[in-house]
């Protein structure tokens, strides 16, 4: 699944570790989502959407 997490994080000037701390996950999880190796669970996707004040579908885009 494509996502804008890296761009959004960069926009806030946060490190992966800082974002991981805010989301309550490991840094490895943030990295895996950013590199599109791992699709987050729905609760985590909602958390990310709330954090960046964007709708989920704007951050995550399902590949056709």
Q: What is the DSSP string of 3-62?
A: E-HHHHHHHHT--HHHHHHHHTS-HHHHHHHHTTS-PPPHHHHHHHHHHTTS-HHHHEE-
In the complex with another protein, which residue's Cβ is closer, 15 or 41? 41
Tell me which residues in 3-62 interact with another protein (CB under 8 A): 21-26, 28-29, 31-32, 37-38, 40-41, 44, 47, 50-51, 53
Interface with another protein (CB under 8 A): 21-26, 28-29, 31-32, 37-38, 40-41, 44, 47, 50-51, 53
């Amino acid at each position: 699944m494509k996502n804008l997490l890296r761009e959004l994080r960069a926009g806030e000037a946060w490190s992966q570790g800082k974002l991981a701390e805010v989301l309550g996950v490991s840094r490895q999880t943030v990295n895996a989502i950013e590199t599109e190796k791992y699709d987050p669970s729905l609760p985590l996707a909602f958390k990310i959407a709330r954090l960046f004040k964007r709708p989920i579908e704007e951050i995550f885009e399902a590949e056709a």
